[in-house]
Homo-oligomer: A and B are copies of this chain.
Amino acid sequence: MQSELTLKGECARKAARQLAILDTRTKNRALKSIALGLLRNGDQILEANKKDIDAGRAAGLSDALLDRLLLTRERMEAIARDIDSVIALPDPVGQRFDSRILENGLQISKCRIPIGVIGVIYEARPNVTIDVSTLCLKSGNAVILRGGKEARESNQALTRVLRESLEGTGVPAGAVQIIESTDRSLVGEMLKAHQYIDMIIPRGGAALHQFARDNATIPVITGGIGICHTYIDKTANLKKATEIVFNAKVQRPTVCNALDTLLVHRDVAVDFLPTIHERLKGAGVEFRCDSRALSILGRDPSVRPAGEKDFDTEFLALILAVKIVDGIDEALSHIQQHGTQHSDAIVTEDYTNSMRFVQEVDSATVYVNASTRFTDGGQFGLGAEVAVSTQRLHARGPMGLQELTTYKWIILGAGQVRE
């Protein structure tokens, strides 16, 4: 008997071959049909979601988790609007690049093509089901989804509507497969299903990423985990620095591009630290300080000495680790040692230091005089993102439609042979 994964893997593989050669108009029409289908079947989806919410509440899920799980009429409308944005994005498939004509007359170019079948392993948020499916579909990829068991009813309702909406559009319904089994061993099976899946995107915590990397025989895109630094250099404009740090820490503290560690040049610490502390304290931020910062900020309920792990923690909360450094060299070596290659920033008016920071910090996104909160496919003009990669191959940083493609070389000849 075939396992669920084998069965759905074969369907996805078959659909991927059909999807790869569809034109943009057909794919956009299917996306529009999904957007309309979601709105038309809102009641049915919200009903399924209510079951997940009730079960989650009974199981004692935190309020934060329940909120991530929750769908509402407004959220459904936002999801449908996001699909309209994906429709508006240019289709990367078929784009030619790096074209040249060789001396022997051969015309060679690279042509963007879909990767094939994308496997996505994610947790509670049911909107990921639609976001990922529509981005994969637009870029000509089939997708195999494995959502969290907390969102089981919601995900099934969403994919049912999604597949029904594909009927008659020319896009095969097999393009979106959802794994229904909640058996944990299935994740391990997915990671080794290289005959069916070409790329795995784990969306979850560090443990999931490490499990994926250690067990997969398929390329894994790890990411979405960021211990983000901002270094306030000696010459920083402290007014800008205050706004940048406040924004990076407070605007949305629960996400991966939020600020975790503030590094401050010793020569400006006495000026800057009390100002930023005053500002952030008002927003409820707790400071975890090294000894030098502690001696400046002194006693206050919002100021605590940093513990051993505070400079190696992604807080995802209103907590800020603070360290005073002797200069850019110490800042760079701190980031190299404690960073996660996600998003790091310098605030400076010094040209040479800005250039050094940009060159020497080895992160997916490196900022001068701006908030790390910009690390996002939408903000970068990619339209949407499927993940933020912090690994080194294929793609780094926000991954949009183009990063869901690969390429082949096309060589057009007139009978050329090699000498």
Query: A interface vs B, CB < 8 Å?
Result: 17, 20-21, 100, 102, 106, 108, 111, 113, 115-116, 194, 198-199, 213-214, 217, 219, 237, 240, 243-244, 246-248, 251, 336, 354, 358-360, 362-371, 373-375, 379-381, 391-394, 396-398, 406-418
A199-B393, A362-B408, A397-B409 in contact; A417/B371 too (CB < 8 A)?
A: yes
**CA A410 to CA B415, docked complex, whole Å:** 45
The quantity of this chain's copies bound in the complex is 2
- Taking a contact as CB atoms under 8 Å apart, the answer to whether B379 and A406 are in contact is no
- Taking a contact as CB atoms under 8 Å apart, the answer to whether A366 and B217 are in contact is no
What residues of B have a CB within 8 angstroms of the CB of A198 in the complex? 392-393
A219-B219, A380-B108 in contact; A358/B396 too (CB < 8 A)?
A: no
14 A-B residue pairs with Cβ-Cβ distance under 8 Å, sorted by A, are: A115-B393, A219-B393, A243-B417, A365-B410, A366-B411, A369-B412, A369-B416, A370-B411, A370-B413, A370-B417, A371-B416, A380-B409, A394-B394, A398-B409
Secondary structure at chain A's binding surface: helix, strand, loop or mixed? mixed
The chain B residue with its CB closest to the CB of A115 is B392
**CA A244 to CA B108, docked complex, whole Å:** 17
Q: Name, among A21, A100, A198, A408, the residue most crowded by chain B CB atoms within 10 Å (CB to CB).
A: A408
The chain B residue with its CB closest to the CB of A371 is B417
- Taking a contact as CB atoms under 8 Å apart, the answer to whether A415 and B373 are in contact is no
- Taking a contact as CB atoms under 8 Å apart, the answer to whether A406 and B396 are in contact is yes
